[in-house]
């Protein structure tokens, strides 16, 4: 029994580790509307909007979930929640993977 439990948990953990967090290529296609504020590759010159490039995928995913779930509040958070209305959980992972994969370019 113990052997079975150990084997199963090993299988589970390796399958979780083997699965990358979202698909960056799909995420690029799923995020055309974000370009206006966050820039084509997640770097923006507008101080009012956060850069997304190079950020941790899990953090980006969690922050987008927080907007969708109404856990981030205020006018800008409501605006962001509206941006994410049509994206489902897989979409959020893919979009997060895309921005996480983009290089950080420091503005001059």
Select 7 or 27, whichever has its Cβ closest to ligand HEC: 27
CA 90 to chain CA centroid, nearest Å: 10
Q: Angle at the Cα of 83 (from 78 to 88), degrees rounded to 5? A: 110
Subset of residues 15 to 74 that bind ligand HEC, contact rule: CB under 6 A: 31, 33-34, 36-38, 48-50, 52, 60, 63-64, 72
Give min distance, CB of 70 to ligand HEC, in A.
12
77 is a contact residue toward ligand HEC (CB under 6 A): yes
Considering beta carbons, is residue 14 or 33 the nearer one to ligand HEC?
Answer: 33
Task: Name the burial class of residue 38, with classes exposed (0-12), middle (13-18) and buried (19+) by CB atoms within 10 angstroms of its CB.
Answer: buried
Distance CA 79, CA 69 (A): 13
Distances (CA, A) of 24 to 10, 17, 34, 44, 97: 27, 17, 15, 19, 5
- Whichever of 20 and 70 has its CB closer to ligand HEC, that residue is 70
Query: Least CB distance from residue 108 to ligand HEC, whole Å?
Result: 22
Residues lying near ligand HEC in the complex (CB under 6 A) are found at 31, 33-34, 36-38, 48-50, 52, 60, 63-64, 72, 76-77, 79-80, 83-84, 95
């Amino acid at each position: 029994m113990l052997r079975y439990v150990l084997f199963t948990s090993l299988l589970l953990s390796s399958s979780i580790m083997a699965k990358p967090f979202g698909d960056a290529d799909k995420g690029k296609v799923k995020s055309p509307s974000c370009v206006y504020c966050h820039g084509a590759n997640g770097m923006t010159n507008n101080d009012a909007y956060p850069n997304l490039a190079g950020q941790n995928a899990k953090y980006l995913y969690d922050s987008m979930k927080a907007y969708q779930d109404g856990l981030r509040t205020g006018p800008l958070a409501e605006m962001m929640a509206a941006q994410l209305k049509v994206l489902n959980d897989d979409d959020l992972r893919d979009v997060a993977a895309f921005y996480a994969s983009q290089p950080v370019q420091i503005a001059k």
